[in-house]
Structure 1
Amino acid sequence: MPSALPDGEPVPENGALPAQALDGAAGRPLGFYLHVPYCASRCGYCDFNTYTASELRGTGGVLASRDNYADTLAQEIRLARRVLGEDPRPARTVFFGGGTPTLLPAADLVRMLAAVRDEFGLAPDAEVTTEANPESVDPAYLETLREGGFNRISFGMQSAKPHVLRVLDRNHTPGRPEACVAEARAAGFAHVNLDLIYGTPGESDADWHASLEAAIGAGPDHVSAYALIVEEGTGLARRIRRGEIPMTDDDEHADRYLIADELLAKAGFSWYEVSNWATSEPARCLHNELYWRGADWWGAGPGAHSHVGGVRWWNVKHPGAYAAALAEGRSPGAGRELLGEEDRRVERILLELRLSEGCPLDLLLPAGREAAARHLGDGLLDPGAYAKGAAVLTLRGRLLADAVVRDLVD
């Protein structure tokens, strides 16, 4: 979760949504994001809403404790049921993110999932994912998750090279993420993702090759590869500002992306979103696709964001304040905004253009259509898709995705 929350109008104490938010809801999938804000230590590049034990000490008392977090989050799931009322939709996806969800006992994650199941039900083919730190799970933990209804897991690998992991302040042992893939498969997980980061200061092309080859060799059916973004206020940003380590430039990021796409394609992975590759359509992360396609999701937990029918809201950030609001029977929402038709049009372009199916050209205004024609001529958009009425990025277009999006939303 981002470290800063946007401005917005107040959320009613009971969390009630405008009546129109549920208009047409039956035709939209419903997902749940469950945020677990705890980490054993803070990675130098991390700007998410997470807390170590020392950061929470004395700032929330028992309310901020990991020990009762599952019960606290279940209170918000029950609030969601009250707010959504007679909405008949079962949960199509449930995604546990963080932080490090697997710092909690596996039984706690299973109980949080059970809260969603009890209040909303799960679709027969529901995707249930948790993020995991490789050092925080073992075969018994994974078996408990699988028996409790989880069927997808995402391990934070980041790199196979020890010196790169040190710069990122990652504390797992090289080789452990690959072993986790095998353990997850043995536990019965149908889908396994490995997260990678490229562009870390001090990483070479050879290092990145080695990380990709290690990830592919482990046998996941999904790989996410993200360019390192140095966020202000992080430990990594301070080290770069002091001149302790160099900043990776955009050309290096582009080179690493091309390497990733080439090696993953050779291994049978296809891109379906700019930073995500899967071996088949069922291997895609359906939960993230809900975000990219503007579906409905309820984000439970400190700092979590939600969206239902054009209403977007976000929770208070601190675990103590979050738990206190729920204990008092109040919504933990910190603010919300109602998206107008133009807001939703722009968001569709921003998000759908990142997908392999692209965005419909009829979403574009005249200036955006003119920009699309220029980018087609420059080789940034696929001619075949364009002829069929869609703006789809070419490989070169993916490297310049942010610039293309800026032009198309005009």
Structure 2
Amino acid sequence: MPSTLPLGDPVPADGGFPPAVQQALPGRAEVPFGLYVHIPFCSVRCGYCDFNTYTAEDLGPGASQVTYPDTLISELVFARGVLDTMGAPERPFSTVFFGGGTPTLLPPEELARILTRARELFGFRVDAEITTEANPDTITEATAQVLAEAGFTRLSLGMQSAVPHVLGTLDRTHDPANVERAVHAARAAGLQVSLDLISGTPGESLEDWRASLDHAVALQPDHISAYSLIIEEGTAMAAKIKRGALPDIDPDDQADKYLITDEVLGAAGLDWYEVSNFSTSRATRSEHNLNYWLDSDWWGAGPGAHSHMAGLRWWNVKHPAAYAQRLSGGATPGHGRELLADEDQTLEHLMLRLRLAEGLDVAEFNALPQLRRSQGEKISAKSVQSLVHDGLIDDAAAQPGTAYPQGRAVLTLRGRLLADAVTRRLAP
């Protein structure tokens, strides 16, 4: 079943923000603002997944796929009201991302209707990036055309692997041949294409992983996300590993596969811009995900969705029935929230910037207001040079210059394998 929600303070029924956040809103008028739309439905629950998703059998009374779009739109209306009441500046969405679950289990016309209502309520920037995830089996030329005409700009396909026995272990049900068909359909509609891959599945050989990468690059996508499998407690796969039905994942095997990933994708013209994300150019990076990594603001709509505004995080109730009940009563679907402490904001800034190809601007980090308030320890040239010596930080980037007076901390290939260790060594 999906993982439990984090603890936090209760969200007031009207969804209002704490005074400190309300006061900060006018100063964030130029900060990118994104929308995440959660579609929590799947035809089959994959054994490795702990996302907040539900099959038809899981839903129970009080929720349905048929009524869900209207419920979701009611949260968008509620969000507009909260922001107006809080005096938030007008900010059209710069990115929209439909995730799940499998958003394309809903008819494309319903996805288009949700998107149209979001545009009416908030407006979109002229260059807005608008993405939906999709199972390859759900995409036809007609589907892709409806999405493109509605304003979607990118299709993110859950390929995961090109090897049948690996897909079987992951409980993925799509036909591998349909990945190519879905890519062609997206291209015909003028959509950018992103492929999601997962490495390290129990029983996946190095040759299997290379074959999946080769198959993916042959489709000439604009973007590839290549994540290492994480075994989450409470999932069916975790239970199989615990009882010995599957071997546990091997960190050394995953490291070897990451090296292969960098080699194959780099040779195909897909360069890393975040540890697990590769694109053909700056223009084809995922701007929505960059908003997360760069501490921008976003509203998460849907059961279990998380939002962020000026250091405030909140998350919605998990089950679609409870979500619908809250909104039908005119109350926030928010379950809990937290206002990030200075030390948490500092650590997140460090950790997330380090994962990006541009790296961490050391002078910018050392000048963070929260670092000054908490009188935390600043990053010293000595600590950066120690990581350079160990081959974890790029020497050339670390040198001070006009643009970066204290240099940048940019991970080397070895550093990307040990990104968490680098973060710990630099953390105040």
TM-score tier by shorter-chain length is over 0.9
Per-residue deviation at 1:175? 2.2
Alignment partners' CA distance in 2, 1:367 and 1:81: 39
Alignment partners' CA distance in 2, 1:402 and 1:346: 11
- Deviation string for 1:32-55 (max 9, x for gaps)? 000000100100000100011111
Q: Match for residue 303 of structure 1? A: 304
Of 386, 393, 399, the residue aligned with 1:381 is 393
Q: Match for residue 252 of structure 2? A: 251
Per-residue deviation at 1:64? 1.2
Q: Match for residue 141 of structure 2? A: 139
Q: Match for residue 178 of structure 2? A: 176
Per-residue deviation at 1:366? 3.9
Maintained 8 Å contact 2:2/2:53: no
Per-residue deviation at 1:240? 0.9
Distance 1:13 1:21, change over 3 A: farther
Alignment partners' CA distance in 2, 1:339 and 1:347: 10
Q: Match for residue 283 of structure 1? A: 284
Are residue 47 (structure 1) and residue 50 (structure 2) matched? yes
Alignment partners' CA distance in 2, 1:237 and 1:310: 34
What residue identity is the alignment partner of 1:65? S
Of 146, 153, 156, the residue aligned with 2:155 is 153
Per-residue deviation at 1:74? 0.6
Maintained 8 Å contact 2:132/2:155: yes
Q: Match for residue 40 of structure 2? A: 37
Are residue 73 (structure 1) and residue 72 (structure 2) matched? yes
Map 1:157-168 to 2 at 5 A.
157-168=159-170
Alignment partners' CA distance in 2, 1:296 and 1:2: 25
What residue identity is the alignment partner of 1:202? G
Alignment partners' CA distance in 1, 2:36 and 2:278: 21
What residue identity is the alignment partner of 2:396? G
Structure 2 portions without partners, runs of 5+: 367-375, 401-406
Q: Match for residue 122 of structure 1? A: 124
Alignment partners' CA distance in 1, 2:423 and 2:143: 42
Alignment partners' CA distance in 1, 2:379 and 2:57: 49
* 2:8 partner SS: coil
Maintained 8 Å contact 1:21/1:311: no
Maintained 8 Å contact 2:26/2:89: no
Alignment partners' CA distance in 2, 1:131 and 1:238: 27
Q: Match for residue 403 of structure 2? A: none
* 1:24 partner SS: helix
What residue identity is the alignment partner of 1:386? A
Q: Match for residue 355 of structure 1? A: 356
Are residue 327 (structure 1) and residue 345 (structure 2) matched? no
Per-residue deviation at 1:319? 0.4
Of 396, 413, 427, the residue aligned with 1:395 is 413
Q: Match for residue 25 of structure 2? A: 22
Alignment partners' CA distance in 1, 2:326 and 2:133: 26
Provide the TM-score with structure 2 as the length reference: 0.92
Alignment RMSD? 1.4
What residue identity is the alignment partner of 2:384? A
Kindly tell me the number of residue pairs found equivalent between the two proteins.
405
* 1:165 partner SS: helix
Provide the TM-score with structure 1 as the length reference: 0.96
* 1:374 partner SS: helix
Alignment partners' CA distance in 2, 1:36 and 1:94: 13
Alignment partners' CA distance in 1, 2:379 and 2:180: 44
- Deviation string for 1:342-392 (max 9, x for gaps)? 322211111111000111223255475354332111010011111142111
Map 1:54-69 to 2 at 5 A.
54-57=57-60, 61=61, 63-69=62-68
Q: Match for residue 405 of structure 1? A: 423
Per-residue deviation at 1:172? 0.7
Give the stretch that moved more between structures: 259-268 or 369-378.
369-378
* 1:43 partner SS: coil
Structure 1 portions without partners, runs of 5+: none
Maintained 8 Å contact 2:3/2:234: no
What residue identity is the alignment partner of 1:77? L
Alignment partners' CA distance in 2, 1:32 and 1:2: 22
- Deviation string for 1:191-247 (max 9, x for gaps)? 210000000011111111110010000111100100000111111111111111111
Are residue 6 (structure 1) and residue 6 (structure 2) matched? yes
Give the stretch that moved more between structures: 20-29 or 317-326.
20-29
Alignment partners' CA distance in 2, 1:30 and 1:39: 28
* 1:66 partner SS: coil
Q: Match for residue 370 of structure 2? A: none
Maintained 8 Å contact 1:254/1:399: yes
Distance 1:208 1:45, change over 3 A: same
Maintained 8 Å contact 1:92/1:122: yes
Distance 1:212 1:280, change over 3 A: same
Maintained 8 Å contact 2:139/2:185: no
Give the stretch that moved more between structures: 120-129 or 353-362.
353-362
Per-residue deviation at 1:178? 2.2
Alignment partners' CA distance in 2, 1:23 and 1:250: 45
Alignment partners' CA distance in 1, 2:63 and 2:398: 51
Give the stretch that moved more between structures: 131-140 or 268-277.
131-140
What residue identity is the alignment partner of 1:397? G
Maintained 8 Å contact 1:199/1:248: yes
